Structure 1
C-alpha cells in the first residue's frame, strides 16, 4: 500500500491519506485546550482506577501509568515543551507522550472511553474547579465591601436616580447594595456546583462503555456525586457551560454598573472618589491626566463576557445529538470568561479597598432638592393628602428654579402661600440627617437599618466561608 500522505494521527487506521495542512489549521485545538491539562491528567488517573477494578489494568500497570501521567504534569509545570505539531489536542498529546515514555502500556489508558466522554469529563472538572476559585474571589470582594461600609458608617451622600440627585443616603447603604448583589452571585455559583455533579466517563462516544466499568468508583475519585444517567445526555449537552458563562456574565455586569458609577465619581465634576494610582493610568499626551482605567476596563470587559455567553448559545442551539465537532468551539469562550472574571474581581476588590472616598466633597455637592420628598412626607403627616403635598412641593421647587434659587431659600411667606403650615418649624426639621433618620425601615438607609444590614452580611459571610 502506498505510504499515506500528510500528518499521521493516532486514529487514522481507516484513512488512505493524512490530514491536509488547511484541515489541521482548522481543527487542531492544542494551542488553547492545553489549558485542560491538569483536568485531563486527573480524569485519566480516575479512569485508570476504574480500569483496574474492571480487570483491564493491573495495579502494577496503573502505578506505571500514574507515574507517567504525573511526570508529564510536572514537566509541563517546569516549563518543558512536550508537544509536537502532530498533537491534535491536549488529550491525544498526553496519550502520545505517555506512550512514548512507558511503551504500549500507555495505549491502554484509553480503553473503554471516547474522546467524547473524556472531553466532557475534563471540561466539567475544569468548570467546577474554576467556579470554586471564582466563588472565593467574590467572597473576598464582599469582605472588602463590608469593611469599607463599616469604616465609613454614618457618612451621608446624595443618592441618584436617572443620574440626578434624588434623596440623601448613607454611603454605607450604597456599598451594601453591592454586597447583597454579590451574595446572589455566590448562590448562583453554589447552585451551579450543586447541580452539575454527574460523571460523564463511561458514556463512551454515545452508547456507553462495553466494559464492566465501575462508574461510581470513578465518580467519587474525581469529586462527582454519581455517574450520569444517560450516555447521550452526558456527551451531547453543554448547558453546564452555558450556565457557567451566564453566571460569570452576571458577575461582570454587576461590577460594570458600579464601575460606571466610580468612573463618574472620579471625574472633577463629582470628585467623590480618588482611585489609588495603582488602579489608574495617565495620558501619553496630557501630563495632568489621571484616568480611572481600571473601572473603564471592568465596564468594557463586561460586554466581552456577554459576547462569550452569546457565542456559546449560538454554537449549541443547532448542534445535532449526540456529538458534532462544532462542540470543540465550546472551550475558548469559557476559558476567556474564566480568566476575565478572575481579574475583574481582583481589580475591583483591590481598587475599592485602596480608594479614598471624599465625603467632604459629597456633602458640598448635596442639593437641598434632595429633601423635597421629605417635605412632602411631613405635609402628609400634618394631614395634607399626598397628591396635594406632592403638588405643593413641586410648585415650590418650580418657583425657586425660576428665581435661580433652592426651594429651601424661599421665604416663609412663599411657603405659606403654597399651603405649607408652620414653615419656620418645618424648615428646622428639614435636614439631610433628619431625612436619613426617617428611613429605618428594614432595607432602608437609616442608621439602624444599615447596622442590621451589617449583621446580615456578617451572617452571610460566615455561611459562605463554611462551604
Structure 2
C-alpha cells in the first residue's frame, strides 16, 4: 500500500486494489455526507476509551482537538467545492487520515476495538435521527398550510367525485382535509420508527462485540441514543430501520402523488378550480399560452421512483448471509436519494398549495342537479319510504327527466307526484335543491357539514400545536 496514505486496512496486501474495483467500491462521494456524524461518533468513542482507561489524557485531548479541526476543514471544503477530493475510499478513512495530520500518532489509537461495521451503522442511525426530524417539520408545515386553507375556504362548495364522475356536493375544505389526514398518519408512522432506530450499534465491533471494558449504555447516551442494540451480529448487519424508512417514504410519497393528481386535474381548463402561481408552474417551449403544473407532475412521478428504491433495497437484503457484507454499502446511497427526493416533494407541494388560487365560482358552477339525487332519496326515507324503494323511485325520476330533456331541478312537480306521492309538497321538494342544505345534512363525525368539518379543523389545530412542541423538544435533544 502507498506509504503516503493512512488506511484502516491493508497491512497484509502488497498491491493496491484495481482501478475498476476502486470505482465500484469507493463510497466517499456518497458517505462524505456523514462527516459530522462520523466525527461525533469518534469524539464519543474517544471519550469512552479515555473513561475506560484505554486512552491517556494527552492522547484523548489531542484526538478531540484534532477532530474539531477536521470537522471545520471538511465543512469549509464542502461549502466551497461541494465534494471532498481525499484519496481514501470512504469518509471514515478520510477523517482518520486528516486526524493523523493534526493529532499525530494519538490518532492511531482512536480505532481501538472499533470496526467500520459498527462505526458506519452508528453514523447512519445518527444521520437518520436528525433527518427524520427535518422530515417531521416539513410534513408539519404542509399539514399546517392545508389546515389554514381549509379554514379560510370552508364556505366553498364543490363537486365531490367517485370514478372521476360527479357524485355529491362537498365543502372544498372537506376535500383538502381528506388529503391532510393521510399526512397526519405519516407523521405518526414516522415517530413510531424512532424507538427502533434510536439504538446504538457502537461497541459491537466487527461481529463478536468488544473485548475491552466499554460501557455501551453510557456511550449510547453520550451519542444521544435511547438504547443499545442487543446483539453484536444484529447490530452490524441489520438494515431493518432503513427498510422501514424507505417503505414509509414510499407510502408518504404515494399520498403526495394522489394529492398532486387531484390538483393537477382541478387546475386543467376543463375544471379551473385552482390556478397555480408562477413560482410553481412552467410554460411550453412552443406554445406560449401553456401553463403546466410541472412541479406536481414531478411529485407524482417521484412516487414511482420512491417505491422502486424501497423494493430495490429489500431485494439487496433478501439473501445475504450473516453478518456484514459489502452489499450493504448501497444502503446510504438509496437512503440519501429517497430523503432528498421526499424533502423536495414536500416543499413543492407545500409551496404549490400555499400560493394557489381557488376559483369558488368555477367550483360552484360545476355542480349539477343530478348530484342531489341522493338527497331526494333521503327525503323519501324521512317520509317513511324504505331506502331501496326510494333509490329506485329517484332513479325513475332521473329517467323521466332525461326523457323530457330536463334535469331534476327543472322537472315539473306533477311528474314527481306521478312517480311517488311521498315526494311531499312542492315546497318541500324544491327545498331539497340547495347545495348548502345538501352538505349541511352530513353532520356525522367526519362528514362534510360545516360543524363536522370545523371539528376536524379544531382537532388538527390542537394536534399541530402539540407536534410543534414535540418537534422543538426533539431538536434540542439532537
Shorter-chain TM band: over 0.9
Per the TM alignment, residue 429 of structure 1 is displaced from its structure 2 partner at its CA by 2.7
Question: Which structure 1 residue ranges, 5 or more long, are not aligned?
Answer: none
User: Per the alignment, in what secondary structure is the counterpart of residue 435 of structure 1?
Assistant: helix
Which segment drifts farther, 273-282 or 212-221?
212-221
| 2:440 pairs with 1:440 | no
| Equivalent of 1:452 in 433, 446, 455 | 455
Distance 2:434 2:170 in 1: 12
Distance 1:236 1:423 in 2: 75
Distance 2:206 2:61 in 1: 27
| 2:99 pairs with 1:101 | no
Aligned to 1:429: 432
Query: Size of the alignment, in residue pairs?
Result: 465
Alignment deviations for residues 45-98 of structure 1 (CA, whole Å, 9 cap, x no partner):
111111111112123322221222222221122236795563111111111111
Distance 1:191 1:291 in 2: 38
Distance 2:241 2:405 in 1: 58
Per the TM alignment, residue 324 of structure 1 is displaced from its structure 2 partner at its CA by 0.6
Which segment drifts farther, 59-68 or 268-277?
59-68
Which segment drifts farther, 274-283 or 412-421?
412-421
Q: Is the 8 A contact 2:246 2:338 kept in 1?
A: yes
Q: Is the 8 A contact 1:8 1:86 kept in 2?
A: no
Aligned to 2:25: 27
Distance 1:408 1:86 in 2: 78
**Match runs of 1:338-357 below 5 Å:** 338-357=339-358
Q: Is the 8 A contact 2:375 2:432 kept in 1?
A: no
User: Per the alignment, in what secondary structure is the counterpart of residue 153 of structure 1?
Assistant: coil
User: Per the alignment, in what secondary structure is the counterpart of residue 110 of structure 1?
Assistant: coil
TM-score normalised to structure 1 length = 0.96
Aligned to 1:48: 46
Question: Which structure 2 residue ranges, 5 or more long, are not aligned?
Answer: 471-478
Distance 1:63 1:369 in 2: 79
Distance 1:29 1:119 in 2: 12
Q: Is the 8 A contact 2:7 2:93 kept in 1?
A: no
Q: Is the 8 A contact 1:399 1:407 kept in 2?
A: no
Per the TM alignment, residue 193 of structure 1 is displaced from its structure 2 partner at its CA by 1.1
**Match runs of 1:16-415 below 5 Å:** 16-79=14-77, 83-84=84-85, 86-415=87-416
Distance 2:314 2:405 in 1: 54
Which segment drifts farther, 265-274 or 77-86?
77-86
Q: Is the 8 A contact 2:6 2:97 kept in 1?
A: no
Distance 1:448 1:75 in 2: 58
User: Per the alignment, in what secondary structure is the counterpart of residue 444 of structure 1?
Assistant: coil
Alignment deviations for residues 313-349 of structure 1 (CA, whole Å, 9 cap, x no partner):
1111111111111000111111011111111111111
Which segment drifts farther, 270-279 or 51-60?
51-60
TM-score normalised to structure 2 length = 0.93
User: Per the alignment, in what secondary structure is the counterpart of residue 407 of structure 1?
Assistant: coil
Change beyond 3 A, Cα 1:172–1:213: same
Q: Is the 8 A contact 2:440 2:450 kept in 1?
A: yes
